[in-house]
Amino acid sequence: MKLILTADVANLGGPGDVVQVKDGYGRNYLLPRQLAIPATRGAEKQVAIIRRSRQARQIRDLGHAQQVAQTLAGLPPVKLVAKAAPGTGRLFGSVTAADVVNALRAAGGPQLDRRVLELPGQIKTVGRHAVTARLHPEVRAEFALEVTAG
């Protein structure tokens, strides 16, 4: 089955890539989760749009990734205010990658895509947590996230 990816899929490709996969994988996993669309003549036009939007968000090259990593390393701990139970320090819900990206932007950090962040499991407690960003296949940056009750 020939598909066009609309999102990053581990060990397969990124948005705009045309891939050949087994029928069951495409029909039962990629298509229902809207990670891909069938490769048709009309969809070929969408590939250009998908690739343009991908390039706007993407780290350009290794040098740019290292520059963003230095920026992240130089930031003070990123503060995030979340609702928590009084006294226990447990959050109502958990902190998502989108929450971290918004807090990072508010702290003066670079604009990152939420999909490049690797959270240490689910963040459900108040305190300091280490967050890793996969900026490039060769570059990973780690920064501190401080979750406070609010």
- What is the percentage of the chain residues whose pLDDT exceeds 70? 94
Phi, psi dihedral angles at 8 (to 5 degrees): -70, 130
Whether 39 contacts 2, CB under 8 Å: yes
On whether both 137 and 67 belong to a single domain, the answer is yes
Taking alpha carbons only, the member of 145, 86, 88 closest to residue 118 is 145
Q: Please check whether residues 22 and 84 belong to one and the same domain.
A: no
Give residue 67's region: left, alpha or beta (phi > 0; psi -120 to 50): alpha
The partner residues of 117 in beta bridges, in order of sequence, read: 133
Q: How many domains does the chain have?
A: 2
For residue 140, give the CATH number of its domain.
3.10.430.100
Kindly state whether residues 15 and 86 are assigned to the same domain. no
Are 47 and 86 within one domain?
no
Which residues span the domain enclosing 52? 2-57
92 and 141 both lie in a single domain:
yes
Residue 55's pLDDT is 64
CB 119 within 8 A of CB 50: no
pLDDT score of 30: 94
State whether 53 and 70 are in the same domain. Answer: no
Contacts of 10 (CB under 8 A, 6+ apart): none
The model carries a pTM of: 0.62
Please state, rounded to an integer, the average pLDDT across all residues of the chain. Answer: 85
Domain boundary pick from 30, 57, 84: 57
| 60-78 tens-digit pLDDT | 677 888 888 888 888 889 9
Q: Are residues 95 and 117 in the same domain?
A: yes
Query: What pLDDT score was predicted for residue 53?
Result: 67
Decide if pLDDT at 79 tops 90.
yes
